[in-house]
Amino acid sequence: MSDGNVKPATGWLGSEKRRLLVQEYGIFIAFLILVAILSVSNPYFLTAGNISNVLLQTSINGVLAIGMTFVILTRGIDLSVGSVVALAGIVSASFATTSATAMVPGGPYPVALALAVGILVGVVSGAIVGVIVSRFAVPAFVATLGMLSAARGATLIYGGGRPVPALLPEFRWIGTGNVFGIPMPVVILIVVFALSWWVLARTRFGRYIYAVGGNPHAAKTSGIDVTRTRFVVYVISGGLAGLAGMILSARTGSALPQAGIAYELDAIAAVVIGGTSLSGGVGRVTGTLIGALIIGVMNNGLDLMGIQSYYQQILKGALIVGAVMLDQKRNQGF
């Protein structure tokens, strides 16, 4: 009998349908399994207060990870977001503090101005990286590593190495307030997610991002402005890092110069765990959001179980490596 007469396996374990199902919903299934395990392990996990706490803990990383998704979809990386969080947080807080030693001369200023300044700091930081990467063809790893150091140094210089305390109640509301019982940071995350999903799934610019990440040479041949697309995704990432920095300062009640350390690792982890390929062109913000929730739920659950943070770092590292290995397998067609 010739090999051509052998039919492919049609059972559940060998079916193409199963492979597609795992690719499409595997991350969501993994999230549900994690929640189920932690719910059984600790009776306090599914309480309303703890769920609210998980969402609050996830909100900042979620905002950062969504910005990181735009960058990674174009085959880039942004290692600077943690430092930009600190810089934007401390600059915006200096416009919205009653501390005589920390405020900008003439302050405190209206909260709207402080928020605009924070976003602007993030956008400018992202624009600098975007120009270096897109115009001068410097590898994203090198450019953003440089910005990581520069932004951290600028934070220490601007604040003199001291925190900015006594923030205005109106400024703190973006981190501690709520809308219809939903914490404001969670509301911001939902809005950022919805807008990002719309951009990537429903706009021409979103299609350009996937095209540039999938094959930049083909995208350029098709008339897509690859340079501009790469520039804009770093601006988006920087702007969202600025937003995350203000949320963090508002939640803690003061802007700390050491804020945001290693936040870029959690953001990258959420993106990779969520199924976005480091090779570019494949991924969705839905997966990124679930990836951020997995990290938040895992950290919270391990805290409730009394497991030290050192072990959490090990598990997080294992998750990242495992997600990248799966991505490589997927790229090779299993």
Look at residue 20 in the predicted model and tell me its pLDDT: 64
208: in domain: yes
- Around Cβ 179, how many Cβ atoms within 10 Å? 11
146's CB contacts (< 8 A; 6+ apart) are: 132
Look at residue 18 in the predicted model and tell me its pLDDT: 66
Using an 8 Å Cβ cutoff, are 102 and 159 in contact?
yes
Residue 238 Rama label (left phi>0; alpha psi -120 to 50; beta)? alpha
Look at residue 177 in the predicted model and tell me its pLDDT: 96
Look at residue 5 in the predicted model and tell me its pLDDT: 54
Q: Residue 135 burial by CB count (10 A; 0-12/13-18/19+): exposed, middle or buried?
A: exposed
Q: Residue 68 burial by CB count (10 A; 0-12/13-18/19+): exposed, middle or buried?
A: buried
168: in domain: yes
Predicted model pTM = 0.92
Q: Tell me how far apart the alpha carbons of residues 54 and 39 are, in angstroms, rounded to a whole number.
A: 13
82: in domain: yes
266: in domain: no
Tokens 């919205």 belong to 96
Tokens 């998750």 belong to 319
28's CB contacts (< 8 A; 6+ apart) are: 290
303: in domain: no
Question: Along the chain (334 residues), what's the average pLDDT of each consecutive run of 10 residues?
Answer: 49 59 77 91 90 94 98 97 98 96 94 98 98 97 98 97 96 96 96 98 98 96 97 98 98 96 94 92 95 93 84 82 75 57
Tokens 């942004």 belong to 78
The structural domain count of the chain equals 1
114: in domain: yes
Look at residue 314 in the predicted model and tell me its pLDDT: 87
Using an 8 Å Cβ cutoff, are 171 and 111 in contact?
yes
- Around Cβ 18, how many Cβ atoms within 10 Å? 12
Closest by alpha carbon to 143, among 80, 86, 73, 232?
80
Look at residue 169 in the predicted model and tell me its pLDDT: 97
Long-range contacts of 200-208 (CB under 8 A, 24+ apart): 200/70, 200/73, 200/284, 200/285, 201/284, 205/229, 205/232
Q: Which residues pair with 280 in a beta bridge?
A: none
149: in domain: yes
Domain hosting 84: range is 59-261
234's CB contacts (< 8 A; 6+ apart) are: 71, 76, 78, 126, 127, 129, 130, 133, 134
36: in domain: no
Look at residue 14 in the predicted model and tell me its pLDDT: 53
Look at residue 2 in the predicted model and tell me its pLDDT: 47
Look at residue 261 in the predicted model and tell me its pLDDT: 95
